[in-house]
Amino acid sequence: MGSVGLVLRRARAGAALLLTIVALATVATGIIAGTLGYSQAAATTAAREALTGSDPTESAVRARTRLAAEEQARPVQDATARRVITETFAPAAVTVQRTVVSEPRPVAGQERDVVAWAGDWLRPDGEDPAVEVVAGSWPDTAAGAGQDAAGAAVPGALHAGAAELWELAVGDELEVDGSTVTVAALWRPVDPTEPRWFGEALVDTGVVEGEAGPLVMGEAAVAALGPAPFVHWTVRPDPDRLEPAHMAGLAGAAEALQDALKVPEVDHRGVLVEGDLAPTTATAARNLATAQALGAIPVALLLLVSVIAVVQIARLQAAARTSDVEVLVARGASRRQLLVWSLLESVVVAVVATLLGLAVAFAVVAAVPAGDQQGPTLVRAAVGTGTVRIMAANRRYIGTEP
């Protein structure tokens, strides 16, 4: 009879205790892996809610400097800023949106100044539009600044709140700091509380003290309105890809971003970073670390109890096999052979229990938010638990010691 056949016969002879060990190990593996997976899923959900449930200025940062004076230098300024932002926040994924914002500019016949904006994300036809058109058609924001050679006006989209204040309709014209702007569309924000608006009060109502707008135009048109406009990069962590381990790094990145952006390609007359992302993520990181540290205690106790239980059952198995081992030794079986047979049986039992426990853990964790992303955590926990059991119980539980 071969070694495999002998191992199978020995397993059948002690099937009751082996099944007890499999059942115990399966339940313990499922509970340990499921607890760790659930804890990680809960931590992931908490980390994401710490940002999605915060005010816009607490869940994002905004870097601001002057727009590069030369038109050919502006793409370099933007590309460099995006690269620095991405590197600073790595490995956390962030969304960066660029907006060109003019200083408040006088409007002929009106007491309030208008603020002009430009940005590719300020379009109603994107995948996730930030604005909705109330009236008219969205203008071609790539149009030039001021009046062209034929005397045509620059098209723009005006906030509906400002248009109501000034009693303007689609097709009317504004004289903004010497440039003629035709109101091609009226718009409102889809959700003014979203982080991408960064809590701008002007976006919500279209009117604040002394100002109205925003008036959305092409970048060249905004750049032509008086002094060099500002360029904003609003940086938002991507909640769908955020992990608990990213929180502490986000806090450090938010604090370091201002110095990181002080490079010649980006910095024009100073860089300012606004927003409370750093304290928000730092607080969340501390809370998550405390919760994870406390959660490790019951898991460690459960693992210890399960190992002790397996060892005790293994001793019963060893005692029941004492006579069998003595017969095998008398027939010439070496200690090495006994050890190999024992190891083979223990590995099979551990693998079966680990797979069953892992399946249970997957079924449980998949039912909670962010649970479907915890596969690696479950596998590591299950494999570690099975390995500990093999190391702790191999010799005693199979009965290699006569």
Domain residue ranges of the chain, discontinuous segments joined by +: 3-48+286-398, 104-226
Contact assessment for residue 146 and residue 112, using Cβ atoms and an 8 Å cutoff: no
pLDDT above 60 (res 122): yes
Q: Please report how the helices 322-330 and 277-320 are oriented relative to each other, as an axis angle in degrees rounded to 10.
A: 70
Average pLDDT over residues 115-132: 90
Convert the pLDDT of each residue in 80-111 to its tens digit.
999 999 999 999 899 999 999 999 999 998 98
Convert the pLDDT of each residue in 6-60 to its tens digit.
555 555 655 666 677 777 777 777 777 777 777 767 677 777 777 777 788 888 8
Instruction: Give the least confident one: 31-35, 116-120, 331-335.
Output: 331-335
Residue 401 banded pLDDT, cuts 50, 70, 90: very low
Residue 243 banded pLDDT, cuts 50, 70, 90: confident
Convert the pLDDT of each residue in 257-305 to its tens digit.
999 999 999 999 899 999 988 888 888 777 777 766 666 777 777 777 7
0.75 surpassed by pTM:
no
Residue 231 banded pLDDT, cuts 50, 70, 90: very high
Can you give the pLDDT at residue 284?
79
Q: Could you give the CA distance from residue 79 to residue 98 in angstroms, rounded to a whole number?
A: 11
